[in-house]
A and B are shown apart, each in its own frame.
Chain A
Amino acid sequence: MALGDILIEVSNVAKHFGEGETRVDALRAVDLTVRAGEVIALLGPSGSGKTTLLNIIGCILAPSAGRVVLDGEPVFDGRWLRRDLRRLRLDKIGFIFQAHNLLPFLTAEENVAVVLDLAGLQAEEGRVRARELLDYLEVGHRAKVKPALLSGGEAQRVAIARALANRPRIILADEPTAALDGARAGLVMDLMRKLAVEQEACIVTVTHDEKIFDRFDRLIHLRDGRLADA
């Protein structure tokens, strides 16, 4: 496990929805490799296939064709059951959402600890790890607060802490800065980059936010389901 390891390897991946006249090709022969420590952005107009690609990498959607290897493990090769893919997500992938999607009935600390609880960690251990992450992201003082009482920036940092709780090597972010102003968006991206390097993880972000384009190592453009350039 080191910086530079290939964490995401997408080869010749295609995805279509429907058949015959109603068939829509969302992705066509996409190749993508992302290494540990890299922070990349998926860009493209609506319907270009970036969310489909994010869902395939996140093991939410199976590709119609092609090969996907995550942290050295080939997935969607017929050997994986739905529950295995969920476990794979729990162990290897962290998600950051546009609307943070924190569970409203849990405190900030519990929102982070729930991932560790699902992973089988002891409650106290999970609480300590959650608190460390929240402190690291400078929201430790809001640990006992429910999401409804957090500001947008605080909620997003708690969501990042949750995504990182189980030390995943792949972090997928869907418009993580859409709800933040320019300064806060920059801070969040800097924080994510720092974490990617420290945890030897990679970050794949779907974004339209031009203010943060300079924070990415690579900008991957998608158009009509194909990579436009890299």
Chain B
Amino acid sequence: MNLALKDIRHGLFRFVLTCFGLGLLMTVVLAMIGIYNGLVSDALAVVKAPVADVWVVEAGTKGPFAEASSIPADTRDAVARMPGVAEAGAVNYQNVEAVHAGRTLRIYVVGYEPGRPGGPQAIAEGRGIGASHFELVADRKTGLLPGETIRFGRKRFTVVGLVEGAMNSGGDPAVYVTLADAMALQTELDPAAQRVQAARGAVSVKSASVAAVIARMAPGADVDLLTATVRQWKHLAAMTQAEQEELLLVSVVDKARRQIGLFLGILLSVSAVVIALIIYTMTMEKLKQIATLKLIGAPDRTIVALIVQQALILGASGWAIGLMLILSVKDYFPRRVVLEPFNVMVLAGIIAAVCLLSSALGVRAAMKVDPATALGS
């Protein structure tokens, strides 16, 4: 006879409510884990997207994400000619705000050279950029649809395709435009300012600088040799893909990551205390029944099983409810919530451990109960 299940069935409504409450708490814990993962994943998305081996940036900077970097656009040709380089492409990054359908969008504009590294990896809908100017491929989270147009600066761009999961470390969705358009967006003055410059007799010089050059290596080529060679050019610095990812995590999202990590730790501690309190209270409410069981001869293992099984059922139910809730609402979060099966299983392990520890408190109280207390009225 399973006393734990019988007891649960007896107070089913209350138990389900308790599980639901715990489930909501688990939803918050899982959401924080997902937000934490999402932050890291988002931060790395922009670095990982070009599938680069080497990043060539301005000397003395940690560009193009941790710091501003500006190098001559023709650096791409120099890098492309180096031994071991299969292909290279210049890229440019900037944030813009644009109005679309009556709302302001904060967008991360990636300028790249079509046909070279730096552009979108997989087009989810529509096509890639086919024209030299005024076309863009947008991340689905921008809300833009193929065929729609949007104004950046003084130019209107047409959306020709959609991608997924392209964003900067701040979570702003990305759009891809040609490098020429991106450079123009960065440097072009509005007509009034141009007229003032012309009246002053100043010559308008368009910048021919880019943020970085991305290189992909030929199979078997030595990445370290390339970076060492590039570093010999005094005005350039080079980083491997791994160094760039590490730099981004350490410099750009480290504080946010630690903040969320700390909050997650606090949340887990609060959850542990709440679980412990629920299980302890459930046990304390049953002390008279436990005394009766002891008096009629129930061995300790029967009483321990009653408490531990209920604790584990409570924890498992709370975890399952939390998981179901977060899976059903995660797409409504403004930032990406990334839940890996590993994280979910680790949380299950933590909850199981907390339940076992909490039930140890209850078991301790139960073991202390004098069977004689059942004899009193």
Question: Which A residues have a C-beta under 8 Å from some C-beta of B?
Answer: 51, 54-55, 58, 60-61, 83, 86-91, 95, 97-99, 101, 103-106, 110, 113-115, 117-119, 123, 146, 162, 174-175, 178
Contacts and interface: CB of A to CB of B under 8 A. Distances in A.
Contacts of A90: 296-298
Given A97-B374, A98-B377, A113-B1, A106 B299 contact: no
B305 to A, nearest CB: 12
Interface string B340-377: 00000000000000000000000000000011101111
B76 interface: no
Nearest to B6: A105
A118 B370 contact: no
Of B289, B297, B370, B377, most buried by chain A (CB within 10 Å of CB) is B297
23 contacts: A55-B372, A58-B295, A60-B370, A60-B371, A60-B372, A61-B372, A88-B297, A89-B295, A89-B296, A90-B297, A95-B296, A95-B374, A95-B375, A97-B292, A98-B377, A101-B288, A105-B9, A106-B3, A118-B302, A119-B297, A123-B1, A175-B377, A178-B377
A89 B297 contact: yes
B7 interface: yes
A132 B295 CA distance: 23
B375 A51 contact: yes
Given A118-B296, A118-B297, A118-B298, A54 B375 contact: yes
A50 to B, nearest CB: 11
A174 B11 contact: no
Interface in B5-46: 6-7, 9-11
B299 A86 contact: yes
A60 B300 contact: no
A118 B293 CA distance: 10
B216 interface: no
Contacts of A60: 295, 370-372, 375
B6 to A, nearest CB: 5
A178 B1 CA distance: 31
Contact of A118 (B7, B299, B372, B376): B299
A91 B298 CA distance: 11
B10 A146 contact: yes
A55 B297 CA distance: 14
Contacts of A123: 1
Contact of B292 (A51, A83, A101): A101
B300 A105 contact: no
B372 A99 contact: no
A83 B295 CA distance: 11
Given A83-B299, A178-B377, 19 more contacts: A54-B375, A60-B371, A86-B294, A88-B297, A89-B296, A89-B297, A90-B297, A95-B374, A97-B374, A97-B375, A103-B3, A104-B10, A105-B3, A105-B6, A106-B6, A114-B296, A118-B298, A118-B302, A146-B10
Contact of B1 (A54, A91, A114): A114
Contacts of A118: 296-299, 302
A207 to B, nearest CB: 13
B294 A101 contact: no
A58 B375 CA distance: 11
A162 B86 CA distance: 85
Nearest to B300: A83
A54 B10 CA distance: 32
B94 to A, nearest CB: 66
Of B3, B288, B375, B377, most buried by chain A (CB within 10 Å of CB) is B375
B371 to A, nearest CB: 5
Contacts of B296: 89-90, 95, 114-115, 118, 162
Of A51, A86, A104, most buried by chain B (CB within 10 Å of CB) is A86
A105 B11 contact: yes
A151 B155 CA distance: 86
A174 B289 contact: no
B295 A95 contact: yes
Contacts of A99: 377
Contacts of B294: 86
Contacts of B374: 95, 97, 101
B49 to A, nearest CB: 58
Interface string B85-103: 0000000000000000000
Q: Which A-B residue pairs are the 5 nearest by beta carbons? A: A90-B297, A105-B10, A105-B7, A89-B297, A117-B1
A103 B1 contact: no
Contacts of A146: 10
A123 B296 CA distance: 18
A5 to B, nearest CB: 22
Of B10, B296, B300, B376, most buried by chain A (CB within 10 Å of CB) is B296
Nearest to A126: B1
Nearest to A119: B297
Contacts of A110: 1, 6
A130 to B, nearest CB: 11
Contacts of A95: 295-296, 374-375
Contacts of B372: 55, 60-61
Contacts of A54: 375
A103 B292 CA distance: 8
A203 B375 CA distance: 16
A104 B371 contact: no
A115 B300 CA distance: 14
